[in-house]
């Protein structure tokens, strides 16, 4: 009997425990992906993530063909399709790697149950996290609430396992037979933009898939790892790894990244250790976000701290639009939002500043920002995005205190002091000297075509603090 590998957020061959186990079974294999927009509670992908998924699936199929098999793509409810396919081909086992969102877990449990009823085994693995969130608890058995305590506990659990190599050859199972559900062509999923093709900036910045991920990792380790701790906060320096979309779709595993960074580290060198520690702790924040999602399934919808339910958020579609299109009049905010629109990615420091601006300066509900990021980020991730927005808003676990309100002008002057980042995304400011870039309203030469500030910083800061204080 053959086996099925059900691919989901793990679109790679290396260090893919489900695929490795299937290959080791010595049986014929069929690799399946289900594009499921029908199961209850699964959040539809945003436009930029769909674009990425298209490229990642295309590359996975190519890579599988080189090993002797291929990817069959279906559209519909996974809880119907997977058991049906497994029954039709009389599969012995279906393999997959775990997911951590509640709706995803519900689908997976339903599939597992139906397979069991048909006496088909389901073997599941942890392929996308360093540590299983269900296994990490405080001494009293409760989930951790702060990152530092969580990360200390995780560290004590020891280094994550070494990554596994890709299977050398996979023996294809052949056709499913006449009664099988119809596999679709990738193009039928319509994941790429139709009508206006807005994806030029994405295409020129990214190479979705496993090969792209490995190139990105090597590029980062060779050129930027050595200055990571020192330079990671400066948006014009390209010093962070840019691995987030690859991690989101599982084009690379966190274990691969963890161990590649370890091997780059020179043990006797304190500076090198600092880079390693800082970089690994960022991977740790990703783990913590998934941990929060696992223990708080409504992370993207509800404040973790319920007192924020009383926050008097403003409905202000005009300001929201100005924020989305990068026309707030604050250069760091506008540069970030235009970088996001063009490339599907934004630097972490700038994400914090633009998010703070929306939530605190404009007093707009963080969920509206989360939704915009969800649609426009190539790395839009249900754990990282929601946890980070709640962190910035102050409503999350271990969040930034609400009263710490970024001043976007000072943030710009501190982290983009030459104005290179702002100028790269705001051609209107190209003629300004460095000292005026983050204060275009002070430029003696004037600035044509750049908006005036949509809100005054001091006024907005006071308004946000008053609103917060009223929560008690």
Task: Give the span between the Cα atoms of 124 and 421, in whole angstroms.
Answer: 44
Q: What angle do the packed helices 317-324 and 331-343 form, to 10 degrees? A: 70
Q: How many residues bind ligand FAD (CB under 6 A)?
A: 27
- The interface region with ligand FAD, picked from 34-42, 292-300, 346-354, 425-433 by CB under 6 A, is 346-354
- In terms of Cβ atoms closer than 10 Å to its own Cβ (0-12, 13-18, 19+), residue 103 is middle
Determine whether 282 is an active site residue: yes
Residue 323 bears catalytic tag: no
The minimum distance between CB 471 and ligand FAD, in angstroms, equals: 21
Q: Under the criterion CB under 6 A, does residue 247 sit at the interface with ligand FAD? A: yes
Q: Which member of 52, 151, 341, 366 is catalytic?
A: 366
366 is catalytic: yes
| DSSP three-state, residue 166 | coil
Q: How far is residue 125 from each of residues 19, 98, 150, 383, measured CA to CA in Å?
A: 10, 6, 22, 19
Q: Is 423 in the site for ligand FAD (CB under 6 A)?
A: no
243 labeled part of a ligand binding site = yes
Phi-psi region of 141 (alpha: psi -120 to 50; beta: other; left: phi over 0): left
| Of 67, 77, 84, 351, the one binding ligand FAD by CB under 6 A | 351
Does residue 224 touch ligand FAD according to CB under 6 A?
no
Query: What letter does residue 132 receive in the DSSP assignment?
Result: -
**Tokens 């005036």 belong to residue:** 452
Interaction of residue 348 with ligand FAD, rule CB under 6 A: yes
Residue 117: CB atoms within 10 Å = 9
277, 282, 413, 428: the active-site residue: 282
Nearest distance in Å: CB 358, ligand FAD: 9
Residues whose CB is less than 8 angstroms from the CB of residue 312 and which lie 6 or more positions away in sequence, other chains included: 363, 467, 470
Asked if residue 337 binds ligand FAD (CB under 6 A), the reply is no
User: Is residue 285 within the footprint of ligand FAD (CB under 6 A)?
Assistant: yes
Please say which residue, 186 or 377, places its beta carbon nearer to ligand FAD: 377
Map residue 18 onto helix, strand or coil: helix
The answer to whether 36 contacts ligand FAD (rule: CB under 6 A) is: no
- In the set 176, 205, 277, 313, the catalytic residue is 313
Nearest-Å Rg of the Cα atoms of the chain is 23
205 lines the binding site for ligand FAD (CB under 6 A): no
Q: What are the phi and psi torsion angles at 315 (to 5°)?
A: -90, 115
Nearest approach in angstroms of CB 256 to ligand FAD is: 12
Find the length of the chain. 472
Structure tokens at 214: 């490995």
Residue 243 in the binding site for ligand FAD (CB under 6 A):
yes
286 binds ligand FAD (CB under 6 A): yes
Q: Is 230 a catalytic residue?
A: no
Nearest alpha-carbon partner for 217 in 244, 249, 186: 244
Q: Strand 121-125 relative to strand 29-35: parallel, antiparallel, unpaired?
A: unpaired
- Report how far residue 112's alpha carbon sits from residue 109's, in angstroms, rounded to the nearest whole number: 5
Among 16, 112, 126, 240, contact with ligand FAD (rule: CB under 6 A): 240
Site string for ligand FAD, 378-407 (x = CB under 6 A): -xxx--xx--xx--x---------------
Single out the residue of 377, 426, 447, 464 in contact with ligand FAD (rule: CB under 6 A).
377
Catalytic positions, written as ranges: 282, 285, 313, 348, 366, 389
Binding-site ranges for ligand FAD (CB under 6 A): 232, 240-244, 247-248, 282-283, 285-286, 289, 348, 351-352, 355, 373, 377, 379-381, 384-385, 388-389, 392
């Amino acid at each position: 009997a053959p086996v099925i590998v059900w691919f989901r957020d793990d679109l790679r061959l290396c260090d893919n425990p489900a695929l490795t186990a299937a290959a080791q079974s010595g049986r014929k294999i069929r690799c399946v992906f289900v594009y499921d927009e029908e199961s209850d509670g699964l959040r539809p992908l945003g436009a930029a993530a769909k674009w990425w998924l298209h490229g990642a699936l295309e590359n996975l199929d190519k890579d599988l063909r080189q090993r002797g098999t291929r990817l069959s793509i279906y559209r519909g409810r996974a809880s119907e399709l997977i058991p049906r396919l497994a029954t039709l081909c009389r599969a012995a086992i279906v393999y997959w790697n775990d997911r951590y969102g509640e709706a995803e877990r519900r689908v997976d449990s339903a599939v597992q149950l139906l397979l069991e009823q048909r006496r088909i085994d389901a073997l599941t693995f942890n392929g996308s996290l360093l540590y299983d969130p269900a296994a990490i608890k405080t001494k009293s058995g409760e989930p951790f609430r702060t990152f530092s305590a969580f990360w200390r506990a995780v560290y004590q659990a020891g280094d994550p396992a070494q990554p596994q190599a890709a299977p050398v050859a996979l023996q294809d199972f052949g056709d499913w037979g006449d009664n099988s559900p119809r596999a679709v062509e990738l193009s039928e999923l319509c994941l790429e933009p139709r009508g206006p093709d807005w994806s030029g900036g994405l295409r020129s910045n990214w190479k979705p898939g496993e090969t792209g991920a490995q190139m990105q990792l090597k590029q980062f380790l060779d050129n930027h790892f050595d200055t990571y701790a020192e330079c990671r906060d400066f948006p014009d320096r390209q010093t962070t790894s840019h691995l987030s979309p690859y991690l989101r779709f599982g084009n690379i595993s966190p274990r691969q990244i963890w161990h590649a960074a370890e091997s780059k580290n020179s043990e006797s060198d304190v500076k090198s250790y600092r880079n390693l520690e800082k970089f690994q702790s960022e991977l740790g924040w990703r783990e913590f976000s998934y941990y929060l999602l696992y223990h708080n399934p409504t992370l993207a919808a509800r404040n973790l701290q319920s007192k924020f339910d009383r926050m008097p958020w403003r409905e202000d579609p005009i300001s929201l639009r100005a924020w989305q299109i990068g026309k707030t009049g604050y250069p760091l905010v506008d540069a970030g939002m235009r970088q996001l629109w063009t490339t599907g990615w934004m630097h972490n420091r700038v994400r914090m500043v633009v998010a703070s601006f929306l939530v605190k300066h404009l007093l707009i509900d963080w969920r509206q920002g989360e939704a915009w990021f969800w649609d426009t980020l190539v790395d839009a991730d249900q754990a990282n995005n929601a946890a980070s927005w709640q962190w910035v808003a102050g409503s999350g676990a271990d969040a930034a205190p609400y009263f710490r309100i970024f001043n976007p002008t000072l943030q710009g002057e501190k982290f983009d002091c030459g104005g290179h980042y702002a100028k790269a995304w705001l051609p209107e400011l190209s003629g300004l000297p460095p000292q005026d870039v983050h204060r275009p309203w002070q430029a003696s030469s004037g600035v044509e075509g750049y908006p005036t500030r949509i809100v005054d910083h001091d006024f907005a800061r006071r308004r946000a603090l008053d609103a917060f204080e009223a929560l008690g």
